[in-house]
Amino acid sequence: MARFSTALLATISLVGLAWAGASPRPLVVWHGLGDSAYAPGMLQFAEGIKTVHPGIFVHLVYIEEDLDKDRQAGFYGNVNEQVQLVSEQLAAIPELQGGFDAIGFSQGGQFLRAYVERYNSPPIHNLLTFGSQHTGISDIPTCRPRDLLCQIARRATNSAVYGSWAQENLVQAQYFRDPANLAAYYSANHFLTSVNNEIAETRNETYARNLASLNKLVLVLFTEDKTVVPKESSWFASEVVEDSADGQQRVFADRRTLVPMHEQPLYKENWIGLRDLDERGGVVFSECEGEHMQLGDCWEDLVREWAGGLVY
């Protein structure tokens, strides 16, 4: 049997697609905390996608064009303003105007979901989120020993997470949801409470219509994730704090109860259109073995199935 190189097979594939008048649907990727659109790992990932889907157009979301400033924007900035900036960025790219698939890594996942709910023009077809904090986090992740930027942001967030400055300027604070202090969360938070439509007085029906318009929402959980607390936030689960027999709240993580997606008020009352999407088979639960953002080869089958579909 004749052997063909990968490059030759890719060329043959491209010729066949062109002859058939088909091309892969474009893809947008929003990186996670501590990363940058132009970091070597992200550029390598984009090249890997192009190997899976020859000819695909890939756009890497950025807040700042400078690599270091873009990384810093993952820690410091107003998330609502960043999502709006990205909506303008995507609207200006000609290749995306017919719609696109999207991948969000970690916090990039809930930021892309915010884009869908608030803007979605051009529209997202399939949205894949890897280790994202859809119902928030109840603990601030630890930092690498020499990551000074992360350490400063972590200390600032821990010191006054529901203070007005933190809620306007510290990215992680804007999706911090303390199950033992929900009153402060509802009062102070202006990002996660908004995209999850948690405040009845300001609930936005457009968010529900837009999210339900997705073809697929693929929720990927990392099985050994210790960075996202609880890791099941990636599957729209959240924690509740139960009262103990003596009336004291249990505040330790191992005493908290997880509420799965299907039991969430957000789902049962269809605040964001998640129930509509799920009932027509649009929500996909998946797992990657390992710790937070240890993709290994896990991404490849997911990208092959849910991203880069042919558009004729």
Q: Write phi, then psi, for 111 (nearest 5 degrees).
A: -70, -40
Question: Catalytic pick from 194, 225, 238, 278?
Answer: 225
- 127 within 8 A of 218, measured Cβ to Cβ: yes
What is the secondary structure of 180-236 as a DSSP string?
T-HHHHHHH-SSHHHHTT--GGG--HHHHHHHHT-SEEEEEEETT--SSSSGGGGGT
CA distance 64 to 72: 9
Distances (CA, A) of 126 to 101, 158, 225, 308: 5, 35, 24, 9
Q: Cα angle at 126 between 125 and 128, to 5 degrees?
A: 150
> Which residue is it, tokens 């390992």?
290
Is 106 annotated as catalytic?
yes
- 222 neighbors 290 (Cβ within 8 angstroms): yes
Given 23, 106, 233, 238, the catalytic residue:
106
CB atoms within 10 A of CB 249: 12
Residue 225 a catalytic site member: yes
Q: Identify whether 292 is a catalytic site residue.
A: yes
- 8 Å CB contact between 207 and 270: no
The residues assigned a catalytic role are 106, 225, 292
